[in-house]
Amino acid sequence: MKITFHGAARTVTGSRHLLEVNGKKILLDCGLVQGRRSEADARNRKFPFDPAEIDAVVLSHAHIDHSGALPALVRRGFKGTIFSTLATADLANHMLRDSGFIQEKDVEFINKRNKKRHGRNAEIIEPLYTVEDAEEALEHFSGMRYRIPFPVVPGVECTFVDAGHMLGSAIVSLRIDDRGSERSVVFSGDIGRPHMPIIRDPKHTATPDVLIMESTYGGRDHVPNDQAEDHLAAIMNKICGRRGKLIIPAFSVGRTQEIVYKLTQLRRAGKISSCPIFVDSPLAVKATDVFDRHPECYDAEIRKIMREQGDPFGMEDITYIKSVEESKALNDRKGPFTVISASGMMEGGRVLHHLRNSISNPENAILIVGYQAEHTLGRKILRGDEEVSIYGEPFPVRAEVFVMNELSAHADRGELMDWYEKNEGTPQQVFLVHGDEDQSTALAATMEAKTSAKIEVPHLDQSFTL
C-alpha cells in the first residue's frame, strides 16, 4: 500500500491524496489549489499523475478546496466513480457548475481588460474548466449514506462517518484487504467543532492502522464560540450605526447558511437592529435549497427551531440576490447594509466587485469569518496590507477589518486532540495534512508528546509505502 500527498501538504488548499493498493488507485479528494496565482494555476492545470489511471475518487466534503479540481480531472481523462455522501453530491451539483461559471467569467474579465490595454497583442487565457466540464464531472458522482459500508474498488470498502464540518461532510473510513491481510485507513477530511449550528457533531471511528488527519488550526485555540453571537452583534450594530457597508466574504455553502442562521437568531432575539442584509451569491441561494432538502444531516437544535420558529434561513431583512443586475445595483446603493458574498478567501466571485467598491472607504468594514490561505487576497487583508491588488488594480485598504475565528468550521488544537484521543486505541502511523506548515508541525509536536503513533507531516508529492 502506498500513499502520495499531492496537495494540502504543509498548506491548506488542493486536498488530493493518492492511495495505491492491490494495483488500484484511489484518490481521496480532488480539490482546487488556491494561493499564489501562477503556482496555483499550474497545479490546477496539470496533475502529477495520469487522471485516466485513477479507478475511483472518494470525496470527503463539497468545499471547493476538496472538490474543485474534479471537473479538471474528468476533462483530463478520469473515467471512474466519485463517491460522496448524498448531501455532498447534491451540493457538488451546484458548486462545481458555479465554479466552472466563475472560471469562465474571471477569465473573460481578465481577457477583456488585457485586450483593452494591449489591443491585439493581448494574451488570451483559457478557463481551467467550463460549466460543461463540471456537468460532465457530475455524471461520475455516486451519493452514499452515512454509516453504510460500500465497495470503492475490489478489496476496499468505505464507510462515511459524520465530520461535523459542513452539510454532508464525512470522515472517510476505509477497510482494505491488502493481499490477504486486513488494513484500515481513516481520512479525517475537515473536522468540525462540537456544538456548531445546523449539523451534528463530529463522530469518532475505530482506530485505523493509518490516519490522515487535518491540522488547519493545529497550533491555535479559538475564542470560545459562546461569545460569537455577541461579537457578531457588536460588529453589525457598529457598522450599521455609522451607515457603512459590511462585507462578509464567505463560502457560499455552509458558511453563508451558518451566518444567515446566526443573524436570524440575533434578529429574532432583538440583539441586532433592523438593517438590510444581502446574500449575493446565486450559489448560496441554491445551497440553501439543498440544506432544506437534507434534514437527515441536521442536529437536534435546528430541528427544534424549525418546529417552533419556522425557516431558519429567512427573515424580512434578508434578500437573496440572484441576477448580475441586482448584484451590480448594490455598487451604487448607500449604506448601511451588509453583504455576504463569495468566495470566502476573496480569490474570485462577486465579493471582489464589492471589495473594489468598498475597501477604500473607512466607513465600511470587512468581516473575516473563515480561514485565509497563504498568498490569497483574504490573507493579505487579514495581515493588514495597506494596499491590495484586485483584478490587477491597486486599492488602498481603508475599511475596518474584523476577524471572527470563533465562527470557524474547523476544530482548533484542543478539539483536534480531543477528536484524536476519543478514537479508540492508537494508530501505527499518522499523517498530518491540510495545515500551513507551522500549524501541522505544532500539532505533530503536541501529538508526539501524547501518543506512541508515528507522526509525519508530509511534503508536497511525498510518497510513503506502508
Binding site for Zn ion (CB under 5 A): 63, 190
Angle at which helix 300-309 crosses helix 255-268, to 10 degrees, equals: 50
The CB-of-165 to Zn ion minimum distance in angstroms stands at: 6
Query: DSSP code of 264?
Result: H
Grid cell locating 253: 455553502
Nearer to Zn ion by Cβ, of 60 and 327: the residue is 60
The CB-of-192 to Zn ion minimum distance in angstroms stands at: 9
The angle formed by the CA atoms of residues 40, 164 and 438, to the nearest 5 degrees, is: 45
Nearer to Zn ion by Cβ, of 106 and 190: the residue is 190
Nearer to Zn ion by Cβ, of 63 and 245: the residue is 63
Beta bridge partners of 58: 28, 83
The CB-of-196 to Zn ion minimum distance in angstroms stands at: 12
The CB-of-464 to Zn ion minimum distance in angstroms stands at: 24
Nearer to Zn ion by Cβ, of 60 and 358: the residue is 60
Contact at 8 Å (CB) between 61 and 95? no
Nearer to Zn ion by Cβ, of 190 and 415: the residue is 190
Can you tell me the distance from the alpha carbon of 135 to that of 131, in angstroms, rounded to the nearest whole number?
A: 6
Distances (CA, A) of 127 to 63, 116, 123, 263, 437: 20, 19, 13, 36, 30
Nearer to Zn ion by Cβ, of 17 and 63: the residue is 63
Nearer to Zn ion by Cβ, of 411 and 455: the residue is 411
The CB-of-207 to Zn ion minimum distance in angstroms stands at: 24
- Strand 429-433: give its sheet, edge to edge: 150-153, 156-162, 170-178, 181-187, 210-214, 429-433, 454-456
For the chain, how long is the longest CA-to-CA vector? Answer: 69
Can you tell me the distance from the alpha carbon of 419 to that of 357, in angstroms, rounded to the nearest whole number?
A: 42
Q: Is 122 exposed, middle or buried (0-12, 13-18, 19+ CB in 10 A)?
A: middle
3-state helix, strand, coil in the chain (%, to 5): 35, 25, 40
The CB-of-89 to Zn ion minimum distance in angstroms stands at: 16
The CB-of-279 to Zn ion minimum distance in angstroms stands at: 20
Nearer to Zn ion by Cβ, of 15 and 130: the residue is 15
The CB-of-161 to Zn ion minimum distance in angstroms stands at: 16
DSSP string, 204-219: --PPPSEEEEE-TTTT
